[in-house]
Amino acid sequence: KNEVEQSPQNLTAQEGEFITINCSYSVGISALHWLQQHPGGGIVSLFMLSSGKKKHGRLIATINIQEKHSSLHITASHPRDSAVYICVLNTDKLIFGTGTRLQVFP
Amino acid sequence: DAGITQSPRHKVTETGTPVTLRCHQTENHRYMYWYRQDPGHGLRLIHYSYGVKDTDKGEVSDGYSVSRSKTEDFLLTLESATSSQTSVYFCAIGGTPNEQFFGPGTRLTVL
Residue-wise pLDDT tens digits, B5-56: 999 999 999 999 999 999 999 999 999 999 999 988 888 999 999 999 999 9
Q: Do A98 and B40 touch (CB under 8 A)?
A: yes
The pLDDT, as a whole number, for residue B85 is 97
Q: Do B99 and A45 touch (CB under 8 A)?
A: yes
The pLDDT, as a whole number, for residue B103 is 92
* Nearest residue in B to A87, CA atom: B42
Closest Cβ–Cβ partner in B42, B98, B100 for A97: B42
Identify all chain B residues contacting A30, using CB atoms and an 8 Å cutoff. 98
Which of B102, B106, B107, B108 has the highest number of chain A CBs within 10 A, making it the mutation to test binding with A?
B102
Size of interface A-B (CB pairs under 8 A): 38
Among the listed residues A32, A34, A4, A39, the one whose alpha carbon sits nearest the alpha carbon of residue A19: A34
Identify all chain A residues contacting B106, using CB atoms and an 8 Å cutoff. none
Strand A10-14 with A100-105, pairing: parallel
Closest Cβ–Cβ partner in B99, B104, B107 for A42: B104
Identify all chain B residues contacting A4, using CB atoms and an 8 Å cutoff. 42
Residue-wise pLDDT tens digits, A44-101: 889 899 999 999 999 999 999 999 999 999 999 999 999 999 999 988 778 889 999 9
Closest-CA distance, A72 to chain B, in angstroms, reads 18
Q: Do A90 and B98 touch (CB under 8 A)?
A: yes
As a dihedral over the C-alpha atoms of residue A4, residue A12, residue A63, residue B43, rounded to 10 degrees, the angle is 40
Contact present, A26 and A1 (Cβ < 8 Å): yes
Residues forming a β-bridge with B78: B19
The conformation of residue B98, written as its DSSP 8-state character, comes to T
How many C-beta neighbours within 10 Å does residue A34 have?
24
Q: Is A6 on the interface with B (CB under 8 A)?
A: no
What is the pLDDT confidence band of residue B1, given thresholds at 50, 70 and 90? very low
What is the pLDDT confidence band of residue B98, given thresholds at 50, 70 and 90? low
